[in-house]
Structure 1
Amino acid sequence: MRGTRWDIQGLRALAVGAVVMDHAGVPGVGGGYVGVDIFFVVSGFLITGQLARRLGDTGRVGFADFYARRARRILPASLAVLVLTALGVLLCVPPTLRSRAMTDAAAVAVYAPNYVFAARGTDYLANTTPSVFQHYWSLGVEEQFYLLWPALLGVSWFVLRRRRGAVAGVLGVLAAASFAAGLVLTRTNQPWAFFALWPRAWELAAGGLLALAAPAVARLLPPWVARLLGWAGLAGIVAACTLFTADTVFPGAAALLPVMSAAAVIAAGGVSVRGSVGALLSLKPLVFLGTISYSLYLVHWPLEQLPQAAVGYENPLPLSVKVALALLAVPLAWLMYRLLENPVRHARVLAEAGPRRSLLAALGGSGVLAAASAIAIIMTANPPLHTGRAVADQTPTAPVKATGFVPKNLKPSLAAAPNDNPSLYADGCELDFSTSRPKPCSFGPDDAPTVVLWGDSAAAQWAPGLQQAVVSSGDRLVTQTKSGCASTLITHVRDGGPYPSCDAWRKKVLEQLNADPPAVIVLADYANEELPKGRDAEKTWADGLADTISRLPAQSRVLLLADSPDFGTSPIECLSQHVDDADACARSAAKALSSPGRVAAYRAAASTRADIVDLTQYFCADTCPAIVGDTLVYRDSHHLTASYASKLSAPLKTKLAPYLP
């Protein structure tokens, strides 16, 4: 082993550069998020190497000293950015998101933000309103890992009598179990696979196992093999950064590429050889970026996200602005490294004192910030979200008439809107992602002619109005809905991967419909549903709809209910920033109605026996407003509030009248 590993600093530079460019939206770096995986491997290698050397010298881990050094290394910059970002939240983040952001801040202060994001179901790779503290998830994983890893290493070292190979074998089994957990969770619950410790621990453990094997690697690896291994590792990192995208099923098996590639670069760098990748990674610009990589990682995300929050998530910052912010993060990170991170790390008052002082300072600082965040949660929980003016209750009209401000009698309120769901959710009639057995729910007389509503959550959103329309006509409504699973017979994906419960559910629903044909079948689906990469979306949708219609019972009338507009981002946050100017939160009809599934529905209707039911005039004219009368139209970017769906019962009854028995 050499002394200073400048190549590892260069590897850190690649990692942080990939993350920053990905977050800035730089074209061609769609997989830059794997930079975090590279950091995990580097961290596991360096920290385990330090622990192994101490165990070899003294036979002890020295827990207090280890955690004191860790606290001095990690916390000063982390807590400083936490404080500054929290202040930025109060100035820039929409009022409806501030309490959530302060919850995230409290979680950061107690080293558990990753579990908050996992429990919330956060999609790291496709989140239109990400938390300004979201980047702290990786620090949470690391700190939780290092609460356990030193103890596992120390116990294994003692029990196995300092035999590195045996210790590595035991810890390797645990790493394999972690990898297996990641494979399973990526398929079944991607947010937990992405954010939780146990499916991610193997990445840090991979670096740790490499550290245990480092003496043998340096002794036994031939120079020419080391040279090839290093360059192959660099090629793997570049491939992951450039070929992976937000659609890649991740972490899962895909994480093997950046993790193993980083391990290959580190292993090759432990062998002194001419022409190695280490020479490239040891160039001064890369070493500089690697040196400030921790501060740069902390600074860049809020620097990107706070301005975006301030201008509104509905107005994405131009690429040039995002790149400029990413570049600005470099000198800011250097200043923080020079003035805070490094000075505190080596401060005599802490470094030369016993570990107790550093640990007490760390716990005290974290405790104060956790308490302050808790107070901020309460203070930001009920912001003023209306103008104080009321409007009269109105029935939706065609063409639609917008309300240009947020009335005080808005139904539902902006705060309550995300939970203004149809009763199908509370009753268990809207199936979750894992359920494959149909659960038809019935409304109206059992002996009346039946109308079946079939589709995904975009079908469920119509249920409040459709139920009133159908039942008041003397008929019975039966719902068959499942989240993220359209009635359209297309190859569905979820989080970039297969969605087997959807295929099984649709097959069973079709069997039930053909076994007991209803009078009318209404198909309603989200028109921007996730499709496999490389498909012509419009053609795929049209062909899938035609396939569905051909398999429905011949004696049933078939209607295609056109999807509601898609805003792209929720208008709720925009409205909370523009209570006096709700028109600022409207979307142009051209954009909101451009979903491939909408066009495909008309194509399918023209070539099959199905008819279209389209209520677009009750949503859009030249623009699509967010508030109509005293009612908020949307509970998120494209789902209707149950309140507005209920008000569409009369238009739905009129549209359906020619088709009902």
Structure 2
Amino acid sequence: MPVPERPAPAGSLSDSSPRARLAGLDGLRALAVAAVVIYHVDPGWLPGGYLGVDVFFGISGFLITHLLVTEHREHGRIALAGFWRRRAVRLLPELPLVLVACAVTARLTARGGSGLGDGLRGDTLASLAFVNNWWQVHRGADYFHHLGVPPLLQHLWSLSVEEQFYLLWPLVLAVLLPLACGRHRARVTTCLAGLAACGAVASLWRMRTLGGRPSGVSRAYFGTDSHSGALLAGCAAALLVPALTRLARHRPGLGPPLAHIALAVLAAFAATGPGDRVMYGWGFAAVTAATTALCAGSAAWTSPRLLEAAPLRLVGRHSYGLYLWHWPVIVTTTALWPAQGVLERTVELLAPLPLAVLGQLVVQRPLATALGRRDGRRASPASVPAQPVRLLSARNAVLVVLPVAAAALGAVALSPSTVPNAMQRQLQAAARNEAGLTAGAGRPHAPSAPSSAGAAAGSGLSPHSAAGVVDGSDVTVIGDSVTLGSAPDLHRILPGISLNAEVGRMMQSAPDLCRQLLAEHRLRGTIVLALGTNANFAPEDLDHVRATIGARRLVLTTVRGPFPWQDSVNSVVRAYHRHHPDVLLDDWYTVSGSHQDLLWTDHIHPRGGAGTTLFATSLVATLTASPP
């Protein structure tokens, strides 16, 4: 995440705040980036670690606003050109370095079919234009669930949100702050804070409205309009710092307890990771409020001692580089070594820090020094607003623009173009086939690659078991992308089956879907739930399904994949089968264990032909072993 230029830590937060300290915000940044890295390595370790991004947003809004307000108070204006120049020097040098590294990695692994480079060119262009978040919305991406290998640059969505903020918010302040002069200063500043607070509430409400629908969760998460609540709340807090400082003089004991409560709230959300209903209902608002309280408390009172620890402050100063590098490292390691042992996890946790330090030493710091910046020696520089804005000399412009532009162009040229891989094409073809069937276009076509016998030979099954011998006219299958990719063979081997599969579907949506199918008289006598690839679930979710379907027969499947919740899902499914003997178990995990060569390189989805036939015949074996 971007590290905003920090104001001088003493004597500049207000006209009379000599003891104001912002050192703790570096520590808060360190905890935030650590939470994000841990979450991406294994969501089970810190289920709410992704909220570190929202903490970053709050810090950025607070610090940038305070920097601009201080500059205006001391010089009577905001030098927009100087602000944007400093932002460019801080952010641009390291970004192309990461883009080039990702492009080279994608090229080197292309022949192995890892899928690391799928769509990378479009992602690169969107990242350079700082519209990555809207590009993710356009592509229908999902931050929390991925089909195959996650995009190498998906994490840059948050950088795009912040850059859009850096472009627009300084313009608002440059226009409105001149009104805050003389005796009207406090009143106008309070009105500006109210404006920012109203914007934060509107953004959080927008997120709540969009996130309340399953189809709108990704739009709510990636959208600038719906995910700017923390940024704008931080802006409001920065504008109120003078008033808070006066309050701190009269109530010095008020700030520390509130700061500790706010820190505890953030820790609780990070540790528990509440579900969508809580987070989009009020959770993001609570995280925003806690982050804003910590920022304001650090300015007007003091930060909790934990946040001022020297190691945390050091890591916090490298948070931008850590954020840039951690996701490509994790995605690459997981794609190439999906077993994810101790060594791989250790690399994913530790490798981003030396890469971040190296990027700053080799790229960012030399370019900052070339521009004559007094603060080029620091990773999180202290800005001195009193400095006049210096125009770049021709030599300095060449020193900065030429290597950055060359690296950016190189990243675009090296990045593979947006061509779906074979697994994605398989799923797209299956989706079109299902759409045609739903629209009444006729039966889906059988897969053209292997015949029944050929597929059976490839999977190690007998031709008899692979033949379409089971009537599927009384079977409803509810599944996710694994089921969708196997749809042609499911229709071939279970003719007449009713299949309802969707990429990214989770077990939590199954009860409502069953109720809908029941109301439409489309729920058959045997219901197969092939879910669990995208998220964990509890036995209560299965109880809700059973309560909905009544006396109908229920079949559960186990899952396989390098995702952290694999074992948890399989334990829930097997325990439920043991406690409810009438519930059948299709043990896909065990069946696929000796045929992992029939899975795609994500080690989740069966390959078309032998792999999808194996998935279908596993279900057939379960149904025929326990006829209704």
* TM-score, reference length from structure 2: 0.73
Q: Conserved in 1, the CA contact under 8 Å of 2:423 and 2:607? A: no
1:285 counterpart letter in structure 2? P
Distance 2:282 2:360 in 1: 35
Shift of 1:206: 1.0
- Distance in structure 2 (CA, Å) of the matches to 1:528 and 1:598: 13
1:82 equivalent to 2:82? Answer no
Cα pair distance change 1:532/1:423, threshold 3 Å? closer
The separation in 2 between residues aligned to 1:32 and 1:652, in whole angstroms, is 37
Aligned match of 2:370 in 326, 332, 347? 347
Q: 1:28 to 1:649 in 2, by over 3 A?
A: closer
Alignment of 1:158-177 (within 5 A): 163-177=188-202
Instruction: Find the aligned partners of 1:151 and 1:356 in 2 and give their Cα distance.
Output: 26
SS at match of 1:178: helix
Please report the RMSD computed on the Cα atoms of aligned residues, expressed in angstroms.
Answer: 4.6
Q: After the TM superposition, which residues 111-150 of structure 1 pair with which residues of structure 2 at under 5 Å, given as runs?
A: 111-127=130-146, 129-150=149-170
For each residue in 1:299-350, what CA deviation from the matched residue of structure 2 results, as whole angstroms up to 9, or x when unmatched?
A: 3333444333332x3x1242x5423553344344334334433443343357
Q: Which residue of 2 aligns with 1:105?
A: 124
Distance 1:251 1:360, change over 3 A: farther
Please list every run of 5 or more consecutive structure 2 residues that lacks an aligned counterpart in the other structure.
1-12, 375-388, 445-470
Q: Which residue of 2 aligns with 1:330?
A: 353
Q: CA deviation at 1:368?
A: 4.4
Report matched runs for 1:288-327 at 5 Å: 288-311=314-337, 313=338, 315-318=339-342, 321-323=344-346, 325-327=348-350
Percent same amino acid at aligned positions? 24
Is 2:258 the counterpart of 1:229? yes
The alpha carbon displacement at 1:427 in A equals 2.7
Mark the CA change 1:528 to 1:24 in structure 2 (over 3 Å): closer, same or farther.
Answer: closer
After superposition, give the CA deviation of every residue in 1:610-645 in whole Å (9 maximum; x if it has no partner): xx797979x948613444xxxx89998246748976
**Residue of structure 1 equivalent to 2:63:** 46
Structure 1 residues 298 and 462, CA gap change in structure 2 (3 angstroms): closer
**Matched residue, 1:193:** 220
Deviation at 1:226, TM superposition (A): 1.4
Deviation track 1:215-270 (CA, whole Å, cap 9, x = no partner) reads 11111231111122222222223223323268785465222333222221222222
Partners of 2:341 and 2:626 lie apart in 1 by 47
- In the alignment of these two chains, the number of paired residues is 554
Contact 1:421 1:641 in 2 (8 A): no
Q: Distance in 2 between matches of 1:156 and 1:107?
A: 31
CA distance in 1, matches of 2:193, 2:397: 30
Q: 2:86 aligns with which of 61, 66, 69?
A: 69
Counterpart code for 1:175: A
- How many angstroms apart in 2 are the aligned matches of 1:470 and 1:299? 47
Equivalent in the alignment of 2:22: 5
Give the corresponding residue for 2:384: none
Q: 1:441-590 alignment to 2 at 5 Å?
A: 451-457=473-479, 464-465=488-489, 467=491, 477=496, 479=498, 481=500, 483=502, 493=508, 499=509, 505-513=513-521, 521-528=525-532, 535-536=538-539, 541=542, 543=543, 547=547, 550=550, 563=557, 566-568=559-561
What's the CA shift for 1:452?
Answer: 4.9
Distance in structure 2 (CA, Å) of the matches to 1:529 and 1:303: 23
Say whether 1:421 aligns with 2:425: no
The alignment partner of 1:82 has SS state of helix
Q: Which moved more, 1:503-512 or 1:348-357?
A: 348-357
**Distance in 2 of aligned mates of 1:14 and 1:658:** 53
In 2, Cα distance between the equivalents of 1:143 and 1:595? 44
Q: CA deviation at 1:71?
A: 0.3
Contact 1:102-1:377 within 8 A present in 2 as well: yes
In structure 1, distance between residues paired with 2:48 and 2:549: 39
- Secondary structure in 2 aligned to 1:29? coil
Q: Any conservation in 2 of the 1:51–1:61 contact (CA below 8 Å)?
A: yes
The verdict on how the C-alpha distance between 1:644 and 1:115 changes in structure 2, with shifts beyond 3 A counting, is same
1:62: Cα distance to partner? 2.7
Alignment-derived partner of residue 447 in structure 2: none
1:387 matched residue in structure 2: none
- The answer to whether the 8 Å contact 2:48/2:269 transfers is yes
> Which one-letter code corresponds to 1:105 in the other structure?
T
* CA shift digits 1:335-386 (9 cap, x unpaired): 4334433443343357874169788987766654554344334579599xxx
Distance 1:562 1:509 in 2: 18
Unaligned runs of 5+ residues in structure 1 are 384-412, 430-438, 472-476, 494-498, 553-557, 571-589
Q: Check conservation: 2:479, 2:529, Cα contact below 8 A.
A: yes
User: Which segment drifts farther, 149-158 or 225-234?
Assistant: 149-158
In structure 2, what is the Cα distance between the partners aligned to 1:28 and 1:51?
A: 38
Tell me the equivalent position of 1:281. Answer: 307
